[in-house]
């Protein structure tokens, strides 16, 4: 993808970004997240939204002066409600969420702006991310998807791609979205608090525009025992994944309606997937219970095998942003 020339005043003609960091009693991690937001190569609004911390978070954030906007919930409301409050307080056209235990590459916002400028009809943007341990040692990174350094997917193809796992948006560290699309979508669902509430939000935001994917590592996710995705049992994660698939199935455009498997086959695939996850974790009884009849479902196994090969070849439009 080519870069813009100095004659293209991108920020003046198009957008303003707000980085919204939801936090609760993680000051040591929050300091790193805030530093990564303040060190962006382009200026942007930075908001710390505190869900009632008691570890000195308020004092530290206020010590940063007007570089960071501090907001505090009147009581502990949970992660989803805190994200919603942060977005409502933001003034940017685009929102970059960041969990307090994650952090951004210095050029994250700059690269997102460059690509969004090329596809003004987009409502959501995602990038690659690296998983790191508490010492910031990289463990792995999300895979590259689609053609080239960056590409877009038309709105009518997004939910089909999400349903068949051709286009994984990823976690909040990877995703930015248009503020107006987020507000139209209704925000994050507190009933899912930290259990796929992000994916549930992405699928609703994607109703309002195209999707952009950037094949650069612009964010870092910390893997540690207290991270949000470690809090739920495999049974609960299966239950929520089935709910997400049900929602996606209803949103697939007519263009793809005849090409998708039946909802029951997709549900069997999800059960098989989580059963195998349990077996990999040496939880044999749980694995058998989660998978159930999916273990002997040819359709479920076929979808599982297809998922490994179809991400690059699936029937979905991916247009380079060059």
Distance from C-alpha of 89 to C-alpha of 79, rounded to nearest angstrom: 15
| Angstrom distance (rounded) from CA 280 to CA 259 | 31
Exposure string of 297-306, with b = 16+ CB inside 10 Å and e = fewer, is bebbeebbeb
How many angstroms separate the most distant Cα atoms in the chain? 63
What are the tokens at 132? 């790191």
* pTM of model > 0.85: yes
Burial of residue 130, with CB atoms counted within 10 A of its CB: 0-12 exposed, 13-18 middle, 19 or more buried: middle
Q: Is the pLDDT of residue 146 over 70?
A: yes
Q: What are phi and psi of 278, to 5 degrees?
A: -65, -40
pLDDT tens by residue, 198-242: 999 999 999 999 999 999 999 999 987 766 555 678 898 899 999
Cα→Cα distances 4→8, 11, 39, 43, 176, Å: 6, 12, 21, 17, 21
CA distance 98 to 219: 9
Residue-range domains of the chain with CATH = 10-230 (3.90.550.10), 235-317 (no CATH)
DSSP string, 149-171: SEEEE-HHHHHHHHHTTSS----
Question: Which tens digit of pLDDT belongs to each residue from 64-123?
Answer: 999 999 999 999 999 999 999 999 999 999 999 999 999 999 999 999 999 999 999 999
Does the pLDDT value for residue 11 go beyond 50?
A: no
Whether pLDDT at 314 is above 70: no
Task: Answer whether 99's CB lies under 8 Å from 80's CB.
Answer: no
């Amino acid at each position: 993808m080519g870069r813009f020339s100095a004659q293209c005043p991108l920020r003046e003609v198009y957008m303003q970004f707000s980085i919204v960091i939801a936090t609760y009693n993680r000051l040591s991690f929050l300091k790193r997240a805030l530093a990564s937001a303040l060190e962006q190569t382009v200026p942007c609004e930075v908001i710390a939204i505190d869900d009632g911390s008691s570890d000195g978070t308020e004092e530290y954030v206020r010590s940063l002066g007007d570089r960071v906007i501090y907001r505090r919930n009147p009581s502990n409301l949970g992660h989803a409600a805190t994200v919603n409050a942060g977005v409502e307080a933001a003034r940017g056209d685009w929102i970059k969420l960041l969990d307090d235990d994650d952090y951004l590459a210095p050029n994250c916002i700059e690269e997102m702006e460059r690509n969004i400028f090329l596809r003004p009809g987009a409502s959501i943007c995602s990038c690659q991310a690296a998983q790191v341990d508490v010492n910031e040692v990289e463990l792995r990174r999300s895979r590259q998807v689609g053609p080239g350094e960056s590409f877009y997917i038309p709105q009518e193809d997004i939910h089909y791609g999400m349903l068949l796992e051709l286009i994984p948006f990823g976690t909040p560290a990877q995703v930015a979205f248009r503020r107006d699309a987020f507000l139209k979508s209704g925000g994050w669902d507190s009933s899912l608090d930290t259990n796929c509430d992000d994916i549930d939000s992405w699928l609703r935001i994607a109703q309002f525009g195209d999707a952009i994917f950037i094949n650069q590592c612009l964010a870092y996710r910390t893997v540690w025992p207290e991270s949000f995705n470690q809090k739920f049992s495999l049974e609960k994660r299966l239950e929520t994944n089935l709910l997400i698939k049900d929602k996606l199935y209803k949103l697939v455009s007519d263009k793809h309606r005849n090409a998708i498997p039946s909802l029951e086959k997709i549900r069997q695939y999800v059960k098989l997937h989580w059963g195998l996850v349990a077996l990999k974790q040496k939880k044999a009884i749980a694995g058998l219970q989660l998978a159930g009849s999916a273990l002997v479902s040819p359709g479920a196994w076929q979808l599982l095998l297809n998922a490994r090969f179809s991400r690059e070849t699936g029937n979905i439009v991916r247009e380079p942003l060059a």
